[in-house]
Amino acid sequence: MKINPNKCVACGNCTYVCPMGAIYVDPAINRATINRDECVECYACYYGLSTEHLNPPLVRMIRKIFQMGRLRFDPEPDVCPTAAFEPEDLQWPRVVRRAFSDPRATHESTGVQGRGTEEVKTNDVTGRVQWGEVGFTIEFGRPGVGVWLRDIQKMTRALAKAGVAFEKKNPFTLLMSDVATGTLREDVLGEKVLSAIVEIKVKVEQTQPIIELVREVEKDIDTVVALGVGTRCDENGEERLVAPILESMGYKLERAKTNMGLGRITNYPENKGEEPSREILSEIR
Amino acid sequence: MTNTLHRYGDAESFRDDYIVFATPSSDRNDAGSVPKLKKFLEMALPFKPVNIGDPVHGGTLRPARNLHTISNWKRDMTPDFRAVIDGIDTPVSVVAIFDNQAAAEQFLKVAADADLGLSINMSASVEGARECCQFAGITRHSVGYSLGFEGSTEKLPDSQLLKLTTMCGHGMVSTSLAKKMIDWVKEGRRTPGQAVTYMARFCSCGVFNPARAQRILEEARNGRWNEQNQPPNDSAEAESHLTEIVQTSKS
């Protein structure tokens, strides 16, 4: 992202809206400036700010007069008065920042907006997490801290060493040069993103060891980590396997995402609109 | 997408936060899903959601590309529900946010009866979602628990700010903006209702809950705090920090 210095009037509105705090008014040039190291290309400034198209010299003059008179003015806080933000044509590897930070950017690899996959949200039609299994989403960097990919590699390597399987369709897995060891491509390690989600699946009995491993590794990672734990309910809609493990580890389960089991497969190109094959159905169940 | 899962707060603070969303699955049931997604949101409207949205176009409050100067004094802050529904043109997750359990569970029942064939999820307090399922006669298929924030939690802001910023699960509502809005509400420069609209416009998928945000801003203005004003997991860290200070001062 760039700020056009010919348009910027240094109103400062954008300095508040950057989730990474990467925008500041540079006193040397009196223009809003982006710290490129800290900017994660989330485009919150570009898409989130409303824009006017006022005349920059006129706005600067008015602001100067108000400042000289020590007059307080009260503009709308979510407006760039001169539409000064201009997206850049991002090249590899910097484009990785946007792919993981801007929720509007679609990962070409998965076709999914955002940083993860459909995980348990579509478990009723994908059967991704089966009875007796646990799907973990390990999210780094959110809210408002961000994460360097080299830091996440510490976690993926530790998880790989523990023998876990990474979700193949997860965008982060696709950044790995060696999935077996959890090693990322060398050229992306120096990139910072707003957040990234590592997805793994393990057996229920591995729940506690995996959480303990994550807790241990996160001590060596300079960001926040949010853990999500997904699993199947029983035939009565109850979940009595994983919750007791989590509660025994001291977690108070306040919030959850619940899949209602109302989805069904309706894409049947191969059998022209008839019911899915037994193989597909058994895969889901 | 874990964007509604890791909202900060305890179960009590989610009393006015019920998110129901419909998700088509790639290669499973996404073909021809756009009319179903529109129908899902249409069915939600009678139950008065406080926001609806999709991740491509956003929620009911969106930024304007060409604001007129006059709008600084007479800005339209009305949520546009119709624009969200009309704008859905690709198979994406769509959300409807409710500020009360009664509306959420009744909508859930209607959505289940409609048998759209899409995956329908609810993101809410564990008990709240369970009760909604019971009301709607739904047997839960899967559940995804949030274990909250860990790691370098000293980098997180206080709980009031976290409650506001985590309502955009993609992290588009910045801590600085949320802090500024609390300050402006306290100063009387904006009402909580106005301040909420500024933050909601940054949420790119419409999961921001304006009703809950308004309540949080009102609590902040009045100096009411539901919880200790500390980041999560802070007590243990504060204790170790204190020990460190004591040891340093002794040496």
The residue extents of the domains of chain A are 2-86, 106-284
Task: Give pLDDT, residue A269.
Answer: 59
> What are the structure tokens assigned to A129, written together?
């997490």
Confidence (pTM): 0.90
Boundaries of every domain in chain B: 11-221
| Residues 6 or more apart whose Cβ sits within 8 Å of residue B201 | A48, A50, A78, B61, B62, B63
**In chain A, what residues touch B166 (CB-CB under 8 Å)?**
143
Best A101, A246, A255, A259 residue to mutate vs chain B (most B CBs within 10 Å): A255
Q: How far is CA A29 from the centre of its chain?
A: 33
Residue range B198-216: average pLDDT?
Answer: 96
Condensed to tens digits (0 to 9), the pLDDT of residues A225-280 reads 999 999 999 999 999 999 999 999 999 999 999 999 999 999 875 544 555 555 55
Residues of B in contact with A47 (CB under 8 A): 63, 204
Pairing assessment for the beta strands B142-151 and A183-184 based on DSSP bridges: unpaired
What's the burial of A24, exposed, middle or buried (CB within 10 Å: 0-12/13-18/19+)?
Answer: middle
CB A223 within 8 A of CB A145: yes
B55 touches chain A (CB under 8 A): yes
Separation in Å, CA of A68 to nearest CA in chain B: 22
Domain A2-86 falls under CATH 3.30.70.20: yes
Interface check for A49 against chain B (CB to CB < 8 A): the answer is yes
CB B229 within 8 A of CB B158: yes
Task: Name the DSSP letter for residue B138.
Answer: P
Phi, psi of A33 (to 5 degrees): -135, 145
**Count of H-run helices and E-run strands, chain A:** 8, 15
Kindly give the residue spans of alpha helices, DSSP state H, lying in A165-277: 207-218, 242-248
Q: Give the pLDDT score at B26.
A: 86
Mean pLDDT of A134-158: 96
A113 pLDDT more than 80 = no
State the smallest CA–CA distance between residue B49 and chain A in angstroms: 18
Q: Can you tell me the mean pLDDT for B143-171?
A: 96
Q: Chain-centre distance of CA A158, in angstroms? A: 21
Nearest residue of A to residue B118, measured between CA atoms: A263
Task: Provide the CB-side half-sphere exposure for B158 (13 A, CA).
Answer: 12
- B10-39 pLDDT, tens per residue? 999 999 999 999 999 988 999 999 999 999
Q: Of B68 and A154, which is predicted with more confidence?
A: A154
* A232 touching chain B per CB within 8 A: yes
Closest residue in B to A235 (Cα–Cα): B139
As a whole number of Å, the CA-based R_g of chain B is 20
Q: Are B219 and B160 in contact (CB under 8 A)?
A: yes
pLDDT at position A119 is 75
Residue type, B191: T
Q: How far is B125 from chain A (nearest CA, A)?
A: 4
Whether B77 has its CB under 8 Å from any CB of chain A: the answer is no
What does the radius of gyration of chain A's CA atoms come to, in whole angstroms? 23
Q: Which residue of A has its CA nearest to B168?
A: A143
Whether the predicted pLDDT of A216 surpasses 70: yes
Residues in Cβ contact with A279 at an 8 Å cutoff, skipping those fewer than 6 apart: none
Q: Are B77 and B85 in contact (CB under 8 A)?
A: no
* ipTM surpassing 0.95: no
